[in-house]
Amino acid sequence: MQKSKFLNIILAATVLVMAILLSTKDDSSDKPTTTPAVKSENAQLTTSDSTMVPFKKISLGVKTEVYPKPAFVIGSYDKEGKPNIMTAAWAGICNSDPLSIAVSMRPATYSYGNLTETKSFTVNIPSAELAKYVDYAGRLSGKDVDKFKETGLTPVKGEFVNAPYVKEFPIVIECEVTAFHDLGSHRQFIGKVIDVKADEAILNADGRVNVNLLNPLIYGGGNYYETGRFLAKVGESLDEIDGKPFVPDYSQKYANDALEVIHSRKSVRHFTDQPVSKQQIETILRAGMAAPTAVNRQPWAFYVVTERETLDALGEQLPYAKMLHQAQAAIVVCGDMEKAGNLKDKGYWVQDCSAATENILLAVESIGLGAVWTASYPYDDRTKVVIKELNLPGKHVPLNVIPIGYPTGEDVPKDKWKPGNIIWR
């Protein structure tokens, strides 16, 4: 008995020593030691190349990591008819017919009582510019403050339901509570949509909301964001998934906004009828004038054309600028031969004005507009048309005409990355 107990102890000790030796051997191998503390859920699916970290999943436990989250502002009246707003991220469309929106609220919120009482609410969809109001409505309670009064936002009595909407918000949705579910921490109110109203300024010609113009606010993990760029139309994957990129290759993440803008710039040839403001044009030209020039001569003049008649006349006569008929404005970048200096330096005006043009195109992209470089110089016929239509003085030579407007979303960037174009020495 004594002997077998001794043998068992020896056996257990041997197993333990071997286990330690084996684990030490693994550690000292040249495999990267990136194994997460929590076992990968699909460890057996990872390839032998353990550098493919992106496919390695790490369990985070039970967390609210759902992206993007909305940040809706819910309007309601209290028993006395005082309007209130509260921010809700636990919300979204939950049924198509009847169209319904679910919003979950903690019993501690003032709005919870209001919705339970009035069986009505409005969903106010914010643009990114309204982030501060969204944040405010989500930090303070209607029990303690009059949020409309404090923010200066305007409550408007719902047309169809007993709840106020916020005048300043671009989309407002009136809902009638049809059901609620007590889920635990929150009560989920189901609201049947009775009416949706949207600001005219964010609508396309077909009456649908233009997401770029709306610029909806996104809530994600303690921060607010605005929406990214247009990627592709729904359904395009069916045509193009086979080997071809669905959209330009975004696998590369850009380190800063400047690179994002450079890579998302595209030649935009389709515009909506949304006007472009003087302030936007000035922002664009400020970027143009920031370009480098030979011996800092800045040998340029920028003509801004917004008259429909002139845009159309140019569009009629310039063979590759037909989109001027749709564009809301055009910038004509001209070389100024008086500023261009002596003969030797004069040769640089094309480079200088080209650098300004690229800055202009990038600035256009960065503020959500679209543009395309249509050449004038060195084509005699085209430069003559521009000189005639704009009545240019002899010293101004038009390098190009850049139609500008709000993009319809049809034009997308091209992936022009070709490693073969680089000669490494």
Cβ proximity to ligand FMN, 68 vs 138, nearer residue = 138
Residues 403 and 326: their CA atoms lie apart, in Å, by 9
CB of 83 to ligand FMN, least distance (A): 11
Within residues 150-209, the interface with ligand FMN by CB under 6 A covers: 186
Q: Is 105 in the site for ligand FMN (CB under 6 A)?
A: yes
The residue range among 105-113, 209-217, 340-348, 394-402 that interacts with ligand FMN, by the rule CB under 6 A, is: 105-113
Q: Considering only residues 77, 100, 101, 109, which one is a binding residue for ligand FMN as defined by CB under 6 A?
A: 109
DSSP-assigned beta bridge partners for residue 104: 188
CB of 128 to ligand FMN, least distance (A): 13
Is 151 in a helix, a strand, or coil? helix
Tell me the DSSP string of 299-345: -EEEEEE--HHHHHHHHHH-TT-GGGGT-SEEEEEEEETTTT-SHHH
- What is the token pair recorded at 44? 């057996």
Q: Considering only residues 89, 163, 329, 369, which one is a binding residue for ligand FMN as defined by CB under 6 A?
A: 89
Nearest residue relative to ligand FMN (C-beta): 138
Question: Do the Cβ atoms of 110 and 139 come closer than 8 Å?
Answer: no
Q: Considering only residues 77, 219, 302, 377, which one is a binding residue for ligand FMN as defined by CB under 6 A?
A: 219
Cβ proximity to ligand FMN, 89 vs 404, nearer residue = 89
DSSP-assigned beta bridge partners for residue 301: 334
CB of 226 to ligand FMN, least distance (A): 14
Q: Is 106 in the site for ligand FMN (CB under 6 A)?
A: yes
Cβ proximity to ligand FMN, 187 vs 269, nearer residue = 187
Torsion of Cα atoms, 43 then 48 then 50 then 52, to 10°: -90
Cβ proximity to ligand FMN, 70 vs 409, nearer residue = 70
Residues 58 and 147: their CA atoms lie apart, in Å, by 41
CB of 44 to ligand FMN, least distance (A): 38
Cβ proximity to ligand FMN, 91 vs 175, nearer residue = 91
Tell me the DSSP string of 103-143: EEE-TTSHHHHHHHHH-EEEEEEPBGGGHHHHHHHHHS-TT
Residue 127 phi, psi (nearest 5): -85, 165
CB of 109 to ligand FMN, least distance (A): 4
Contact positions vs ligand FMN (CB under 6 A): 71, 84, 86-91, 104-106, 109-111, 135, 138-143, 186, 219
